[in-house]
A = this chain, B = another copy of it.
Amino acid sequence: MTATTLTMSPSCPLPLPAMDRVQLGHGSGGKMSAELLRTHFLPLLDNPVLRQLGDAAVVLVPGGEIAMSTDTFVVSPLEFPGGNIGSLAVHGTLNDLAMMGARPRFLSTGFILEEGLPFDVLDRAIAAMAAAARESKVMLVAGDTKVVERGRADGMYVNTTGVGIIDAQFCPRPDAVRTGDVLLVSGPIARHGMAIMSAREGLEFEAQIESDSASLVPLVELLRERVGSAVHALRDPTRGGVASALNELAASSNVGVMLEEASINVPAPVAAACEMLGLDPLYVANEGVLVAFVDPASAADALAALRSHPLGASATIAGHAVADHRGMVVLVTRIGSRRVVDMLPGDQLPRIC
């Protein structure tokens, strides 16, 4: 924005607001809002649909079922090893669509900006959002920005909503786990939550822990191609971790879940950090891991499919669905004992996503 558009009158020179930070006026719907779009959002997010700036985006879909998912991101801090709120907001919603077997196609985003947010932080979030969308071949077609007074947000909050196309031949559903199904976990767990904790608290662990924030779409495509309808249920274990995701699937499908502690991959620095903070990695958030329940006849092929991609290189078979203790998850520990892995009542780690 040029300085002149803010000068109210040539005879009364006002102190110009510092334009390296978000001002309340950027949320006004007037010229400053238009400038915010033109100078910060559109250069990075531009595409033929968004450029029209209509009240709504108009996009073409084939007839049939579509999937729709929404997620709001309030992660603190806004930037962390392995990502920022912009990349996280894209991955989170794409992954939710992918867990229903949908092919993500379109995204919308709504930003709440706190007055005083430095534009360089905003620009990095927008750039990461654009890169994540491009990488996953989804188009960001609609957006909205609001500004609230200093002290009424925490830098920024970001909502993303995604639309994907359902493939009638590939419909994993949370209530479709069958007893006997094999449980696969696509990679090392608890990295996102511990990366956030280390960034938030300024903790120095033996090695820097990076968030696993990533699009799970490529892994789901591999499962679709190689084993298709043998995949009965998928879930990305974000807030509440693997333990909560498995509890939800066990409850929805009315099966028991047996989980083998020895087959769960917790990277050594993550395990050390969890131990230091008194956290159980099974409850810590992931943003680039999926759990899958697969027909036993296709489990080996599904495992090979996951392992053929870098994101799934260390995938494991980590348990199975059983007819006992329906609706519950039981962990077989390394020493062979068994304990119930319940859902936590409340918070282990707030503001993780």
Contacts and interface: CB of A to CB of B under 8 A. Distances in A.
Contacts of A148: 74, 154, 157, 351
Q: Is the interface of A mostly helix, strand, loop or mixed?
A: mixed
A30 B60 contact: no
Contacts of A175: 52
A278 interface: no
This protein's copies in its complex: 2
Contacts of A27: 239, 347, 350-351
A149 interface: yes
A29 B240 contact: yes
Contact of A100 (B55, B162, B344): B55
Given A68-B108, A142-B69, A146-B72, A238 B29 contact: yes
A57 B68 contact: yes
A137 interface: no
A29 B244 contact: yes
A23 B72 CA distance: 18
B55 A235 contact: yes
Contact of A240 (B28, B56, B58, B141): B28
A110 B70 contact: yes
A242 B196 CA distance: 44
Q: Report the interface size class on chain A.
A: 35 or more
Highest count of chain B CB atoms <10 Å: which of A54, A100, A285: A54
B166 A163 contact: no
Interface stretch (A31-39, A119-127, A201-209, A325-333): A31-39
A53 interface: yes
Contacts of A143: 70
Contacts of A226: none
Q: What are the 4 closest A-B residue pairs judged by CB atoms, nearest first?
A: A25-B346, A29-B239, A63-B63, A29-B240
Interface of A: 5-6, 23-34, 52-74, 95-97, 99-100, 102, 106, 108-112, 141-149, 151-154, 157, 159, 161-164, 166, 173-175, 235-236, 238-240, 244, 248, 252, 283, 285, 343-348, 350-351
12 contacts: A25-B347, A28-B348, A29-B239, A56-B68, A59-B66, A63-B63, A68-B108, A68-B141, A68-B161, A68-B163, A70-B109, A157-B157
